[in-house]
């Protein structure tokens, strides 16, 4: 994760600053340059998602989404 964030900062996509409430933490935010790219990114994600479901039945698509939600929820609660 650190390498990815370093590359994103190098490329001008994010900026980091020290959290004023907890100086041990770093706050990450998108730059205006990155924000301008969000519509293109959202369109690419939507296209990939649509294509991925071409290979699955409706039932399998729902199962996949359910499984992914469980993984995401599990990771989010595993602090």
Residues 21, 41: one domain? no
HEC profile for the chain? CHHHHHHHHHCCCEEEEECCCCCCCEEEEECHHHHHHHHHHHHHHHHHHHHHHHHCCHHHHHHHHHHHHHHHHHHHHCC
pTM equals 0.59
Statement to judge: residues 26 and 53 lie in one domain: no
State the residue range of the domain holding 19. Answer: 1-30
Q: What is the pLDDT of residues 11-40, one digit of tens each?
A: 999 999 999 999 999 999 999 999 999 999
- Examine the pLDDT at 79 and tell me if it is beyond 70: no
Task: Indicate if 17 and 47 belong to the same structural domain.
Answer: no
41 and 73 share a domain? yes
Q: Are residues 26 and 43 in the same domain?
A: no
For residues 14 and 44, membership in a common domain is answered with no
Same domain? 42 vs 60? yes
């Amino acid at each position: 994760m650190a390498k990815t964030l370093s590359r994103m900062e190098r490329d001008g996509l994010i900026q980091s600053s020290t959290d004023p409430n907890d100086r041990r933490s770093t706050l990450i935010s998108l730059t205006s340059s990155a924000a301008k790219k969000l519509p293109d990114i959202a369109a690419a994600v939507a296209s990939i998602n649509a294509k991925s479901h071409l290979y699955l039945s409706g039932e399998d698509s729902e199962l996949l989404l359910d499984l992914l939600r469980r993984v995401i929820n599990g990771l989010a609660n595993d602090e």
